[in-house]
Amino acid sequence: MKIWYLYLVRCGDGSIYTGVSTDVARRLAEHRSGRGRGARYLRGRGPLLMVRKIRIGDKSTAYKLEWRVKRFSRADKEDLIKGKIKLNELRKKVALN
């Protein structure tokens, strides 16, 4: 079974992008290339800096957490980056929805 990760990338304009992948380094390289499989949102927003990577486990949970985090306020995303919001708290929030 592949291990899935939730990751957050800070863009050059200060925005924060959230994604999931089994290979975060490869995915960041795709985003940085600005073409192909990289997220359209990130094109032209470089430089891109990986600011947090969280081991999730299974694919289903990773996508549910991604959906939830993408709806976080900027302040909550910053707290997640700083480690003020823990994975257990995220899982509980996903379970409630």
pLDDT of residue 86: 81
Question: Which pair of structure tokens corresponds to residue 36?
Answer: 């192909």
Which tens digits make up the pLDDT trace of 39-95? Answer: 889 998 989 999 999 999 999 999 999 999 999 999 999 999 999 988 777 776 666
pLDDT of residue 2: 93
Q: Check: CATH 1.10.1060 for 4-96? A: no
Instruction: Report the run of H or E that residue 95 belongs to, with start and end.
Output: helix 87-96
Domain ranges of the chain: 4-96
- Residue 90: alpha-carbon gap to chain centroid: 13
